[in-house]
Amino acid sequence: MTEIIVSALGKIILHGEHSVVYGRSAIACSLNIRTYLKLSQTKDERVSLVFPDIDLTQSWSLEEVNSIQFSQGCEILNPNPPTEDVIKQLKKIAGSGATEINNTASIVFLYIYLSLCKNRKQGIELKVKSELPIGAGLGSSAGFSVCLSSAFLILTGNVSAPGSDNIWKSDDLELINKWAFMGETLNHGTPSGIDNSIATYGKAIKLKSGTVHKLDKIPNLRILLINTKIPRCTKDLVAGVRRKYEMYEGIITPVLNSMEAIVSRCEAVLSDMTGNHCDVTSCYKKLQDLIDMNHDLLRFLGVSHPSLESVCKTCQQYGLHCKLTGAGGGGCAFCLISPETTEETLQTVEIELKKQNFECWETSVGGNGVMCHDPACGTTSSIPDFLKTT
């Protein structure tokens, strides 16, 4: 019986969230915090979803799923963005009883499943478990979409699963990324593609107008992640910025251009930091200035939140520099830990943040993109117990 286990990782956007939706550049770094998916073929002639992170279990008979008039007319190598009509059909099938959140996850699943697997005769069960906080700006939606697209592209033989070295063919990665982008489109309408690309390729990337540039030279940055635990939804935040842009284009455009300039300064500093003659203190000072400036611009766009302001203020009191990451409106911020930050300062800041009911943990950037965990070659050790075969 076929079983496919895949995983994809989360990210921080160093700079360029929101402006990247308007064709400006953004830099994202992967975080080694992963979402795992297990696809099992079953004998029960059903299609079943088990998504405990969003409290969703859902099941359809194969007959029900195969009877859906799905008129997407999609080429596998070139997926079309779902039309309004298709979205309407998917929403109906996803079930009127589901909550908004659950509904989106089911819709993304149904779109990918029906586009790639319609009329299959064997039942499947899909389980997804993430180490990432969901809806907190660390790209859980993209990790989810990358897992779905890679699992179904492998199942249908459209991409080959890599061996234990986890080296994928570059065309396969490109195809996984294209389908994951469709998932993100269903999730929030006008994604830039940065989240699905970093979840697919890992390490660090710069993205501009949909084109991915891998950044090979990235210093090993220490990051303190702070989760305000204020729930928010990327779709609403992106829509809010769109309204502002449409109403005040002449005012917002220079802000987006400043964000682009921040990205290019950041890229230059990161590259200097990997060279031989770098003045570490001055490089960190520049990175800190850029973080402060970008957070101010994001606040101007209306995507901060009182909780994010408290996080930044607390960090500033101890000489640390912090910005929101992802769509904002709550969710996570990150703080750059420089070599001059003492462990004592770090501990004190963490205590202060926790007193305000924020969650924080230290992490570093980097990590493999999409991975296939083959039970036969023993790469399943990191998989959450919930997904392990009993």
Ligand X SMILES: C[C@@](O)(CCOP(=O)(O)O)CC(=O)O
Ligand Y SMILES: Nc1ncnc2c1ncn2[C@@H]1O[C@H](COP(=O)(O)OP(=O)(O)O)[C@@H](O)[C@H]1O
Residue 20 engages ligand Y in binding (rule: CB under 6 A): no
Which does residue 256 bind out of Mg ion, ligand Y, ligand X, none, counting CB within 5 to 8 angstroms by kind? none
Residue 72 engages ligand X in binding (rule: CB under 6 A): no
Which does residue 104 bind out of ligand Y, ligand X, Mg ion, none, counting CB within 5 to 8 angstroms by kind? ligand Y
Which of the residues 311 through 370 are near ligand Y (CB under 6 A)? Answer: 326
3-class SS at 29?
A: strand
Catalytic residue among 195, 197, 304, 338: 195
Q: Note if 53 is an active site residue.
A: no
Q: Note if 61 is an active site residue.
A: no
Residue position matching structure tokens 């996803």: 94
Which of the residues 72 through 131 are near ligand Y (CB under 6 A)? Answer: 101, 104-105, 128, 130
Residue 260 engages ligand X in binding (rule: CB under 6 A): no
3-class SS at 371?
A: strand
The binder of ligand Y chosen from 22, 51, 111, 284 (CB under 6 A) = 51
Judged by CB under 5 A, the number of residues near Mg ion is 2
How far is Cα 151 from Cα 47, in angstroms, rounded to an integer? 15
Residue 17 or 172: which CB sits closer to ligand Y? 17
| Spatial CA neighbour of 236 closest among 303, 290, 288 | 303
> ∠222-227-230 over CA atoms, to 5°?
160
| Spatial CA neighbour of 331 closest among 359, 351, 352 | 359
How far is Cα 159 from Cα 74, in angstroms, rounded to an integer? 17
The binder of ligand Y chosen from 13, 112, 114, 136 (CB under 6 A) = 136
Residue 371 engages ligand X in binding (rule: CB under 6 A): no
Strands 123-130, 46-51: pairing kind: parallel
Which of the residues 176 through 235 are near ligand Y (CB under 6 A)? Answer: 187-188, 233-234
CB atoms within 10 A of CB 236: 11
In angstroms, give the least distance from the CB of 366 to ligand Y: 20
What are residue 243's phi and psi, to 5 degrees?
A: -60, -45
In angstroms, give the least distance from the CB of 209 to ligand X: 12
Q: Please check whether residue 353 is in contact with residue 226, taking contact to mean a CB–CB distance below 8 angstroms.
A: yes
Task: Kindly list the distances between the CA atom of residue 353 and the CA atoms of 31, 99, 225, 286, in Å, as whole numbers in the listed order.
Answer: 21, 32, 11, 25
* Cα radius of gyration rounded to whole Å, the chain: 21
How far is Cα 194 from Cα 112, in angstroms, rounded to an integer? 19
Which does residue 134 bind out of Mg ion, ligand Y, ligand X, none, counting CB within 5 to 8 angstroms by kind? ligand Y
Which of the residues 216 through 235 are near Mg ion (CB under 5 A)? Answer: 234
Q: How many Cα atoms occupy the beta-carbon half-sphere of 25 within 13 Å? A: 16
Report which DSSP code applies to 189.
Answer: S
Residue 325 engages Mg ion in binding (rule: CB under 5 A): no
Which of the residues 173 through 212 are near ligand X (CB under 6 A)? Answer: 191-192, 194-195
Which of the residues 123 through 142 are near Mg ion (CB under 5 A)? Answer: 141
Judged by CB under 6 A, the number of residues near ligand Y is 23
How far is Cα 112 from Cα 340, in angstroms, rounded to an integer? 47
In angstroms, give the least distance from the CB of 307 to ligand Y: 15
Residue 198 or 337: which CB sits closer to ligand Y? 198
In angstroms, give the least distance from the CB of 39 to ligand X: 24
Active site residue ranges? 141, 195
Contacting positions for ligand X (CB under 6 A): 17-18, 20-21, 137-139, 141, 191-192, 194-195, 234, 238, 326-327
